[in-house]
């Protein structure tokens, strides 16, 4: 009887030890999960910058790339950051921007987070307007700027950033297909209804003889419309590059009143975030141009 009692107490002691050991184990495990991670959080300002950064950083250890929220229509130009954006920035280790004046809110960010490192992907580039990524050559230069910037901040992954940037640039150079448009439109007169397509025209060797920047809701005067239409007729403009949301009303007028073809192209500020988007969207643009010629 006494022996049994001792055995019982012993068993109880063992089970208490096991239970508390398990408890400690689970507690530690849970705690580790909640502890701040050692991940480098890289925030990006807009879709094209996100795509460039993602391709530079996707193979780097412990790096997360996240895009700030995007306006549902138009570009970033007049965009103000949301409360959620500011919260995300407070957790970020670095912000990658397009630069060239695209991020109108930059001053607010610098004021709120003076210590947050900012990588300007357009630094040192010879730009025409803020839609730098629309030039395949400048986009590749942006990719290299981002890799250089990240390498300084996160030197442990520097080799990975450089290799990934180089590989991605080669993919962009190899897979963007102008479909012979750089011969078809070389020296041809074109017109644009969005300044982003200045880069598209440049890429194809075409001359922009008329431009109207319809990048946001704005009033267009009758005189402006008349002058644009007159130039399209006088200069034998073959094709007009436009963005649908803000350019389709003007596009309709051009189609009615001139022989020029109007083609609607993407500026890459919207769309999903798959890593090869840049190439597929640019190729779609070139295919659309080819189709109207
Ligand atoms: Zn824009």
For 151-188, how does the pLDDT look when each residue is reduced to its tens digit (9 = 90+)? 999 999 999 999 999 999 999 999 999 999 999 999 99
Q: Let me know whether 129 and 255 are in one domain.
A: no
Check if the beta carbon of residue 285 is closer than 8 Å to that of residue 266. Answer: yes
Residues with CB under 5 A from ligand 1 (ion): 75, 215
Residue 5 binned pLDDT confidence (cut-offs 50, 70, 90): low
Q: Let me know whether 87 and 201 are in one domain.
A: no
Instruction: Report the CATH number at residue 242.
Output: 3.40.50.1980
Q: Let me know whether 169 and 217 are in one domain.
A: no
State which of 175, 205, 239 marks the end of a domain. 175
Whether 81 is covered by a domain: the verdict is yes
The token pair at 71 is 């306006």
Per-residue pLDDT averaged across 17-25, rounded? 49
Long-range contacts of 208-215 (CB under 8 A, 24+ apart): 209/235, 209/237, 210/235, 210/237, 212/250, 214/242, 214/243, 214/246, 214/247, 214/250, 215/74, 215/75, 215/77, 215/243, 215/246
Q: Let me know whether 125 and 164 are in one domain.
A: yes
Q: Compute, in angstroms, the gap from residue 89 CA to the centroid of ligand 1.
A: 23
Whether 26 is covered by a domain: the verdict is no
238-275 burial, b for 16+ CB within 10 Å, e for fewer? bbbbbbebbbeebbeebeeebebbbbbbbbbbebeeee
Q: What is the DSSP letter of 214?
A: -
Q: Let me know whether 204 and 126 are in one domain.
A: no
Q: Compute, in angstroms, the gap from residue 49 CA to the centroid of ligand 1.
A: 13
223 in helix, strand or coil? helix
Q: Compute, in angstroms, the gap from residue 194 CA to the centroid of ligand 1.
A: 8
- pLDDT in the model for residue 8: 59
- pLDDT in the model for residue 17: 54
Q: Compute, in angstroms, the gap from residue 269 CA to the centroid of ligand 1.
A: 8
Check if the beta carbon of residue 189 is closer than 8 Å to that of residue 206. Answer: yes
Residue 32 binned pLDDT confidence (cut-offs 50, 70, 90): very low
Whether 209 is covered by a domain: the verdict is yes
- pLDDT in the model for residue 7: 59
Number of folded domains in the chain? 2
- pTM score: 0.86
203 pLDDT exceeds 80? yes
Q: Compute, in angstroms, the gap from residue 290 CA to the centroid of ligand 1.
A: 24
**pLDDT tens digits, one per residue of 238-247:** 999 999 999 9
Check if the beta carbon of residue 45 is closer than 8 Å to that of residue 96. Answer: yes
**pLDDT tens digits, one per residue of 54-65:** 999 999 999 999
| Domain that residue 244 falls in | 181-292
State which of 175, 210, 237 marks the end of a domain. 175
State which of 151, 175, 199 marks the end of a domain. 175
């Amino acid at each position: 009887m006494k022996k049994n009692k001792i055995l019982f107490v012993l068993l109880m002691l063992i089970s208490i030890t096991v239970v508390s050991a398990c408890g400690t184990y689970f507690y530690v495990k849970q705690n580790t999960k909640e502890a701040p991670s050692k991940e480098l959080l890289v925030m990006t300002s807009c879709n094209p910058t996100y795509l460039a950064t993602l391709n530079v950083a996707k193979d780097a250890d412990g790096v997360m790339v996240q895009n700030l929220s995007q306006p549902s229509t138009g570009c970033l130009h007049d965009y103000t950051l949301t409360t959620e954006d500011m919260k995300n920035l407070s957790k970020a280790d670095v912000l990658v921007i397009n630069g060239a004046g695209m991020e109108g809110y930059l001053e607010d960010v610098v004021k709120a987070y003076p210590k947050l490192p900012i990588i300007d992907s357009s630094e040192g580039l010879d730009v025409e307007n803020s839609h730098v990524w629309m030039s395949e050559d400048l986009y590749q230069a942006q990719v290299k700027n981002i890799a250089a910037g990240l390498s300084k901040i996160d030197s442990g992954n520097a080799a990975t950033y450089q290799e990934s940037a180089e590989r991605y640039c080669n993919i962009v150079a190899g897979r963007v297909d102008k479909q012979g448009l750089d011969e078809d439109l070389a020296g041809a007169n074109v017109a644009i209804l969005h300044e982003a397509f200045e880069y598209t025209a440049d890429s194809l060797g075409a001359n922009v003889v008329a431009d109207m920047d319809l990048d946001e809701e704005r009033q267009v005067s009758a005189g402006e419309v008349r002058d644009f239409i007159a130039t399209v007729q006088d200069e034998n403009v073959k094709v007009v590059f436009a963005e649908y949301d803000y350019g389709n009303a003007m596009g309709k007028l051009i189609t009615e009143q001139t022989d020029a073809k109007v083609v609607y192209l993407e500026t890459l500020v919207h769309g999903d975030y798959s890593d090869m988007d840049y190439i597929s969207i640019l190729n779609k643009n070139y295919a659309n141009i080819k189709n109207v010629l």
